[in-house]
């Protein structure tokens, strides 16, 4: 698995953000979807500048969206008894930038990218059903 730089390994506070391009060997990430069929809306940051400010979201993260290194990490982040998790295969030849941001949970990654590019990177969608 490709390694992303962590603030801890660089002697930085946990809340530091190190955004890097996709590693040369590519990167696999997982994202919760609204429906089984992914759409650009699933990869579109939703907050306006004022909404982010009022909600206490730093401007840096207004344009990023959450992904996970592992499928199971994405599943457990959902409250829904039935959820959809997309596996994205991201290549190095892109404008994407990614940061390991584990202050939000183990394996959490923030991603900055054009939604269309992320939609095109979806390799699989898994429908997970949780037992009652």
Partner 1 sequence: MDMSVFIVQESIHADHVSRHGTRDEAIAAIEEMIRQGLAERGEFNIREIDDAGKTVRVFGVPEGEAARTEVA
Q: Under the criterion CB under 8 A, does residue 28 sit at the interface with partner 1? A: no
Minimum distance from residue 28 beta carbon to partner 1 (Å):
18
Q: Under the criterion CB under 8 A, does residue 30 sit at the interface with partner 1? A: no
Minimum distance from residue 93 beta carbon to partner 1 (Å):
26
Q: Under the criterion CB under 8 A, does residue 36 sit at the interface with partner 1? A: no
Q: Are strands 65-68 and 108-112 parallel, antiparallel or unpaired?
A: antiparallel
Residues 6+ apart with CB under 8 A from 122: 38, 86, 87, 88
Q: Which is nearer to partner 1, 8 or 25 (CB)?
A: 8
Q: Under the criterion CB under 8 A, does residue 129 sit at the interface with partner 1? A: no
C-beta separation of 78 from 121 below 8 A: no
Helix (H, G, I), strand (E, B) or coil at 73: helix
């Amino acid at each position: 698995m490709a390694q992303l730089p962590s603030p801890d390994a660089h002697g930085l506070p946990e809340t530091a953000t190190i955004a890097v391009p996709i590693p040369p060997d590519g990167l696999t990430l997982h994202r919760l979807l609204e429906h089984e069929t992914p759409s650009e809306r699933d990869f579109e940051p939703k907050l306006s500048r004022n909404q982010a400010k009022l909600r206490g979201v730093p401007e840096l993260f207004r344009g990023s969206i959450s992904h996970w290194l592992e499928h199971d990490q994405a599943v457990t982040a959902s409250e829904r008894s039935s959820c959809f998790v997309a596996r994205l295969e991201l290549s190095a030849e892109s404008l994407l930038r990614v940061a390991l941001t584990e202050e939000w949970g183990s394996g959490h990654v923030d991603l900055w990218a054009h939604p269309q590019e992320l939609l095109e990177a979806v390799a699989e969608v898994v429908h997970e059903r949780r037992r009652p």
